[in-house]
Chain A
């Protein structure tokens, strides 16, 4: 604690010196900048610089030959390397997008921030993995390779308890973790995607209907949605999953199917709210009036007039909703009531392998397995959020 305060004070002194020195030296174009610089800005510069220096130092430590020091900074090293690799990949991808494709996509890529291109690249990679999981994964998701030990340490180094045939090791009953991670893309992402689509079909249709028809239907649906939204969604999902877990074996329907329906219904309330609000703004437009006077039916009104005009906000909402659904499913699986084994799923993998984090000090490789699964979830949601953030910024024209 004392050290912490001392470091902050030291930075304050350095910042003051930095500004003072900057004012002394005669750099024609920077003179005004240093003269008007508030102390807090100078502090920010020095703080940022010290953090960068510290990260550099930690990285060097992580590469040191001393295993004890190297273990301690192993994860920071991986994080820094990962960050740089992803940044370069995103940059290359954006460059690629600017030079290849139609004029429209080129223009899109030109104004794209790096975060958004990172997001799109990541989503594409996940989609590729999910679709071709069966061809990419070296082993099956439920396959226990005969004669292979359980809990092989990731890294593939036999001296540290690894096995080159299993680059990410095996789990507690001897299944290949790499294959399960790849299949996880198919199961976790696929199920989350299906759930979101279902939620949108349900919530969107009802929301537009309520907006178009109004009256008692609108009242009934809106009040029902109000009540459902008054119960926190994860809690309600857990409650319903408890009940479903009793019903599932009796009816012979897999529990995962129940989960999709339950989460879709809970999440469709949020979609309903948005669809209704957007729909109500559109319904009062003149072209809707004209279509009504032409004698168009309800289906035409909803799908041909309202839906095309509500696409932009709904699309952004789709991205956000997907993240919520994905995180809810991951949380349920983590708690043990979501996607059921033997299906490979990231949330369940984190729960099963989580204990290995405690070995990080002595065998950092052992701790990577649960973090990889959790990181796979985080990476996708972060990527989707970056893209949605960019889309929202673009469509609202927010500059400041």
Chain B
């Protein structure tokens, strides 16, 4: 067991290192921008003094390395900085109402995105595993082929196509769910669920295919093994052979692919959130990209990357833990 612990600790350390390097990459990428925000808010008629004063206000006049460590230190203490757009707004209107720091701006949206990802996972994971088991059980039948074609099509369609198809059928032609997810704080859970149903269904369609195909492949891979043959010869029903004997051994790749798809969920929400105007972090990211609000872009990017790395790390560790050959190396 000590061995596994070392491997896991190594992975964790590696993950943290990756995160650090990723933060450097993001920081450098953002700082490749020509000119800066000070110039772009003031426009063409800016006097050098005004530019300098705004630069000083925002700390843009310091060298890059200093700024990086300031930013990193801030991030580690939960201070993601101040949005340029918000700072601008506050200084012009003379009010400080509403969210002024990025952390305050992101926190509720992050919660919304996690909520969406959670609903999607709650629908997609059981659905895809059951579908995968059924496809493995009735492999090479019409059912298997139909699911294969269906999943291949949904995996390869762009998200916005699936989203519009769902809007068309479930919101416009048959008004079952609302096509806009205007979610706000203090909304009752059922209403919230109803409003985020269409984005969740879209994401479900996107991730189910991959998980289902992996489940099917992992189970079918095992069907040639001697112990499955044994179980079959013992006279067990095909369903029992698969659920009791094949599935536990196929769990490692399945868990792995689930974690990878959850990672995809957190990052793949961008397009879906834009289609449904869902107030999540993906939408904030796209909006900030459009108005070039650098601190927000930076923060969102870092959050997405962190989620992605953490989930990949989980996938790694889970597959180590569920594989007896790695747990007891020779």
Contact = CB atoms under 8 A, between A and B. Distances in A.
Interface of A: 38, 40-41, 44, 48, 72, 75, 115, 226-228, 230-232, 234-236, 238-243, 245-247, 250, 323, 327, 330-331, 334-337, 347, 350, 354, 357-358, 360-361, 367, 370-371, 374-375, 377-378, 381-382, 384-386, 389, 400
Contacts of B312: 230
Contact of B270 (A48, A234, A381): A234
A233 to B, nearest CB: 8
11 contacts: A41-B138, A227-B22, A230-B19, A232-B305, A235-B285, A239-B301, A243-B33, A246-B292, A381-B156, A385-B156, A400-B224
Given A231-B26, A330-B158, A354-B160, 13 more contacts: A40-B239, A48-B142, A230-B309, A242-B289, A242-B292, A334-B160, A334-B274, A335-B270, A336-B290, A360-B173, A361-B172, A374-B158, A378-B156
A328 to B, nearest CB: 10
Nearest to B238: A38
Shortest 7 CB-CB contacts between residues of A and residues of B: A232-B267, A374-B161, A378-B157, A381-B156, A385-B156, A360-B172, A235-B304
A350 B173 contact: no
Nearest to B31: A243
A337 B165 CA distance: 23
A335 B271 contact: yes
A238 B18 contact: no
Nearest to A231: B305
B90 interface: no
Interface of B: 18-19, 21-22, 25-26, 29-30, 32-35, 138-140, 142-143, 149, 152-153, 155-161, 164-165, 167-169, 172-174, 179, 220, 223-224, 237, 239, 263-264, 267-268, 270-271, 274-275, 285-286, 289-290, 292, 297, 300-301, 304-305, 308-309, 312
Contacts of A245: 292
Contacts of A226: 18
Residue from B26, B160, B224, B297 whose CB has the most chain A CB atoms within 10 Å:
B160
B169 A75 contact: yes
B267 A234 contact: yes
B42 to A, nearest CB: 16
A232 B165 CA distance: 26
A361 B169 CA distance: 10
Contacts of B158: 327, 330-331, 334, 347, 374, 377-378, 381
A155 B312 CA distance: 49
B161 A358 contact: no
Contact of B138 (A44, A238, A250, A358): A44
Contact of A382 (B30, B152, B286, B304): B152
Contacts of B169: 75
Given A230-B308, A239-B297, A400-B220, A323 B156 contact: yes
Contacts, number: 160
Nearest to A327: B158
Contact of B286 (A48, A75, A238, A240): A238
Nearest to A79: B165
A377 B161 contact: yes
A375 B161 contact: yes
Contacts of A331: 158-160, 270-271
A331 B163 CA distance: 13
B318 to A, nearest CB: 18
B149 A235 contact: no
Main secondary structure of the interface of A (DSSP, over half): helix
Contacts of B174: 72
Given A239-B30, A247-B34, A400 B297 contact: no
Contacts of B35: 246
B152 A386 contact: yes
A375 B157 CA distance: 8
Nearest to B149: A115
B289 A44 contact: no
Given A72-B173, A385-B156, A231 B308 contact: yes
B152 A227 contact: no
Contacts of B239: 38, 40
Given A231-B22, A334-B271, A350 B164 contact: yes
Contacts of A374: 158, 160-161, 164
A235 B297 CA distance: 10
A146 to B, nearest CB: 32
Given A350-B164, A375-B161, A230 B18 contact: yes
A337 B290 CA distance: 8
A245 B286 CA distance: 14
B164 A371 contact: yes
A382 B271 contact: no
Contacts of A234: 267-268, 270-271
B83 to A, nearest CB: 15
Nearest to B162: A378
A357 B167 contact: yes
B163 to A, nearest CB: 9
B249 to A, nearest CB: 17
A28 to B, nearest CB: 23
A231 B266 CA distance: 12
A230 B23 CA distance: 11
A75 B168 contact: yes
Contacts of A357: 164, 167-168, 172
A350 B142 contact: no
Nearest to B217: A398
A369 to B, nearest CB: 11
Nearest to A40: B239
A347 B161 CA distance: 10
Contact of A227 (B25, B149, B267, B271): B25
A245 B33 CA distance: 10
A232 B168 contact: no
Given A238-B289, A242-B292, A323-B156, A335 B274 contact: yes
A399 B149 CA distance: 17
Contacts of B21: 227
B177 to A, nearest CB: 13
Contacts of B29: 239-240, 243
